[in-house]
Amino acid sequence: MELPKVLIIGQPFNNATGGGITLTNLFNGWDRNKLAVASSGYLLNNNVNADICTYYYQLGNKENKWVFPLNYFQRKYYSGPLIFESKRVQNLKKSKSKYRVKLIMNYFIPLLKFIGLSHIISKTELSPEFCNWMDNYNPDVLYMQASSRSDILFCIAVHKYLKKPLIFHMMDDWPSSISATGLFKKYWYNKIDQDLRDLLDRATILMSISEAMSNEYKTRYNKDFVPFHNAIDMDFWGKYQRNTYDLNENPTILYAGRIGLGIDSSLKLIANAIQRVNEELNITIKFILQTQEKPAWINTYENVVHNNFVSYNDLPKVFSETDFLLLPYDFTKKSVRFIKYSMPTKVPEYMASGTPIIIFAPEVTAIVEYAKRYEWAEVITLNKIGVISQTIKQLVENKQMRQRIATNAKNIAKKNHNSIDVTTQFKNVILSLVK
């Protein structure tokens, strides 16, 4: 059957973010002339994957509006189609002042959240130019993601205008945390919940990021969500696959990802635990943080090393050459609300590497439930340095333990996350809308 034309709202294709990677893998093999993306300018950069899709509209100052009088401080971003040339996106706004961004993110936005204005400070409207672009493309299906009230209202507006079958894909349980603090938090929770339910009622198909999220949302929204997580090319991610489980002379534990909400304090605790193991076993385990920013606390530890991000093509080799891969979460109530039903994009990538995986996360999270069910990682659910250090010691001293969890992970990656099967299922779900 001929593939339908899909208009994607909110998330560009890229190899740099979890959402972009997941989207790229789910739509892998789609006719790129039948994919179009509308996304805010701050999400678009030179990492956009032009192999998957070339037809973009940047939602800029003609669509994104700040309320008076804050509109006088709003930057003017380009609105309109983007032109691709050798995988580079043209017409993009150049880099912003780091001081200005820091001031906004550390002071201005938190203030707005506290006083309850963050949900009304801006809105995204359908400009005549954007409507004309959508009319010219004339999609058969709408695929949408959202992570704010403004996103929700924009998705509703697009659906009202085009009146096409809608797929809505939830990537994180942000509704549980988006209005958890500040003045009028109860009012905004109820308001955003009402807006989200309106959007969910409009959708023909609802997707989640994990089985745990689907189960929770069935109870919370009385809706059926089909789980679709990241899918991987087993040939690509398994080309350096680890099959021997002797440790390197100086063992390494690698964390590759972001620093921030849900991560930072756990990384610091693990650094302390590794330091304790080194002292007790008289060895030198290096804790490698492959992150965009170097944590401020890193200089306190001799055993912690910061590496910059490597290219996407180099990741399979990097993941397979380390002795352990780490998937950590924070244990604060705020963090748990946000990540409880999430499933990190790197999970199947880690699995396919053949390197033993360590998970440090609260018992209630989807990732812990998944790992325990199939025993593809060593799981630590107690936020105590003694438990962490003892688990690491066991892994260092027990080769059979390392091999067992790594073998299970490779098998689960092949069974549940290979792109051939997952993308076929994903494609069939979308095709069901146009039969």
Helices (H), 116-261: 128-137, 149-162, 185-202, 211-221, 234-237
Distance CA 430, CA 382 (A): 41
CB 92 within 8 A of CB 58: yes
pLDDT at position 176 is 87
Cβ-based neighbour number of residue 175 at 10 Å: 23
Please tell me the predicted confidence (pLDDT) of residue 204: 97
CA distances from 431 to 27, 142, 167, 241 (A): 13, 12, 12, 34
Residue 162: how many CA atoms within 13 Å on its side-chain side?
A: 29
* pLDDT one-digit tens code per residue, 214-243: 999 999 999 999 999 999 999 999 999 999
Which pLDDT does position 94 carry in this prediction?
47
Task: Of 331, 337, 275, give the one whose Cα is nearest residue 300.
Answer: 275
Residue identified by tokens 């509006």 is 65
% of the chain with per-residue pLDDT over 90: 66
The DSSP line for 352-401 is HHT--EEEE--TTSHHHHHHHHHT-SEEE-S--HHHHHHHHHHHHH-HHH
pLDDT of residue 335: 82
Residues of the chain with pLDDT under 70: 46, 66-75, 84-122, 179-184, 260-262
The helix (run of H) or strand (run of E) holding residue 96 is none
Cβ contacts of 304-312, under 8 Å, gap ≥ 24? 304/271, 309/256, 312/15, 312/16
Q: Residue 278: what pLDDT? A: 96
Is the bond preceding residue 251 a cis peptide, omega within 30 degrees?
Answer: no
